[in-house]
């Protein structure tokens, strides 16, 4: 079935260090993988996405890598700042533009 697994569920990182969140997906036909950031009580915000014809994409301190053969993709945040603290969700598109989300990673940046 359509499934996205996300690890870790919680992550604490010292300010200035890097954070990495990993996801695996079940359907090899998936070709779109967005990442959302959700602060407490707020809407999920799209922070970066990647399509299957690209192996890596970067936007300032945020990067996403995709390994289609292994069916996994990762979010990398460098030089973390307190405002990066939030819950991060990965997702994969399983046909019909339906997004299936991971269970989320609560990232805490320690000042």
Partner 1 sequence: ETGVTQSPTHLIKTRGQQVTLRCSSQSGHNTVSWYQQALGQGPQFIFQYYREEENGRGNFPPRFSGLQFPNYSSELNVNALELDDSALYLCASSLDRANEQFFGPGTRLTVL
Q: Which residues bind partner 1 (CB under 8 A)?
A: 6, 32, 34, 36, 42-46, 49, 51, 89, 91, 93, 95-104
Q: Residue 63 or residue 104: which is nearer to partner 1 going by CB?
A: 104
Q: Residue 18 or residue 103: which is nearer to partner 1 going by CB?
A: 103
Own/partner long-range contacts of 46-51 (Cβ < 8 Å, ≥24 apart): 47/88, 48/75
Give the shortest CB-8-to-partner 1 separation in angstroms. Answer: 15
CB atoms within 10 A of CB 80: 20
Give the shortest CB-100-to-partner 1 separation in angstroms. Answer: 7
Q: Residue 12 or residue 14: which is nearer to partner 1 going by CB?
A: 12
Q: How many residues does the chain have?
A: 111
Place of tokens 């707020």: 42
Q: Residue 1 or residue 111: which is nearer to partner 1 going by CB?
A: 1
Give the shortest CB-34-to-partner 1 separation in angstroms. Answer: 7
Give the shortest CB-49-to-partner 1 separation in angstroms. Answer: 7
């Amino acid at each position: 079935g359509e499934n996205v697994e996300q690890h870790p569920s919680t992550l604490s990182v010292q300010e200035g260090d890097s954070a990495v969140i990993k996801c695996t997906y079940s359907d090899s036909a998936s070709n779109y993988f967005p990442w959302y950031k959700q602060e407490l009580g707020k809407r999920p915000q799209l922070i970066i996405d990647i399509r299957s014809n690209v192996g890596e994409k970067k936007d300032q301190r945020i990067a996403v890598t995709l390994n289609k053969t292994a069916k996994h993709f990762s979010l990398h945040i460098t030089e973390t700042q307190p405002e990066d603290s939030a819950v991060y969700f990965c997702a994969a598109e399983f046909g019909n533009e339906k997004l299936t989300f991971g269970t989320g990673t609560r990232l805490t940046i320690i000042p």
